[in-house]
Every structure is written in structure tokens, then in C-alpha cells.
Amino acid sequence: MSRENRNAPRQGGFTLVEIMVVVVIIGLLAGLVGPAVIGRQADAQIDVAKSDIAAIYSAAELYMQRNRLQVPEMEDLMGEDSHGQPWIKASNIKDGELLDPWGNAYEIVPMDGLKFDVVSWGPDGEEDSEDDITYLNHDE
């Protein structure tokens, strides 16, 4: 080696130890933050379903007031009112059905007289299971 090369300024860079420390810190952060974020996704889907159900219930009540107290079906709410406005404005409509966050259709379930409920069968999509979300029990 010549004398010129030994006295030349060294190029900056990261050592292997510095890179390993950064990788360990990123791994620790991912390990702590990851599970918390993943757990919140399920809660967010439930909140979206509750919000959708409340909107559907309100639209159904309005429909009943304007249409001689007839409990609507979901298909009725997908159409337009007498002013050409949709009863429900939603982006989660597929093949003519309003879908919950798990891809299942919301349902209006008639009850005694003019009473009704709006239901999402929840993540499992099974009727009458523990994860069902309805308007009448959405505060539980």
C-alpha cells in the first residue's frame, strides 16, 4: 500500500453491530405493537357493523313512516324514495346486498306487529350464535 491510501479519509458507514442493534429494536417494537394492532381490527369491524345496523334501522323507520307503516325488506331500502334519493347510501353493496365487515348480508328481521330488528350474523356468519350483532342488543 502506498502512503497516500493510508492517510486518505475513511468512508462513513454502519458497522455490523450498529445494524444488528437497529434490527433488534425494530423486532422488539414489532413484537409489542403488532399484537395490539391486530386485536383492534376485530373491535373496529364490530364498531362498523354496529354503525351500519343503526343506519339501516333509522332508514327502515323512515321508510315505515313514509310507506304506511310497512316493515321494509333490505331490497326496499336499496331502492330510491319518492324524491329519487336512496334510502341507504353505502359503499359496501355487492350484488344488490348490503354487506357487513365479514362479507355477510345484513338482514331485517320482522317481529310482532310493526317491530323489527336489524341483524349481522357476526364473524362466523351463523344465525343465532354468540357473535350476532343486532340493533336491539347493540349496547350490550
Question: Residue 139: inside a domain, yes or no?
Answer: no
Opening angle at CA 87, ends 85 and 92, nearest 5: 110
Q: What is the pLDDT along the chain (140 residues), one digit of tens a residue?
A: 555 566 666 677 888 898 899 999 998 888 888 787 777 888 889 999 999 999 999 999 998 888 877 888 888 888 888 888 888 887 777 877 889 999 999 999 998 888 899 999 999 888 888 889 999 865 54
Q: Where in the sequence is the domain holding 81, given as residue range(s)?
A: 17-134
CB 106 within 8 A of CB 52: yes
Kindly report the CATH number assigned to the domain that includes residue 28: 3.30.700.10
Question: Residue 83: inside a domain, yes or no?
Answer: yes
Question: Residue 5: inside a domain, yes or no?
Answer: no
Q: How many domains does the chain have?
A: 1
- Compute, in degrees rounded to 10, the torsion defined by CA atoms 124, 127, 132, 135: 140
Integer angstrom CA distances of residue 54 from 32, 71, 132: 35, 16, 14
Question: Residue 21: inside a domain, yes or no?
Answer: yes
Give the separation between CA 45 and CA 69, rounded to whole angstroms. 32
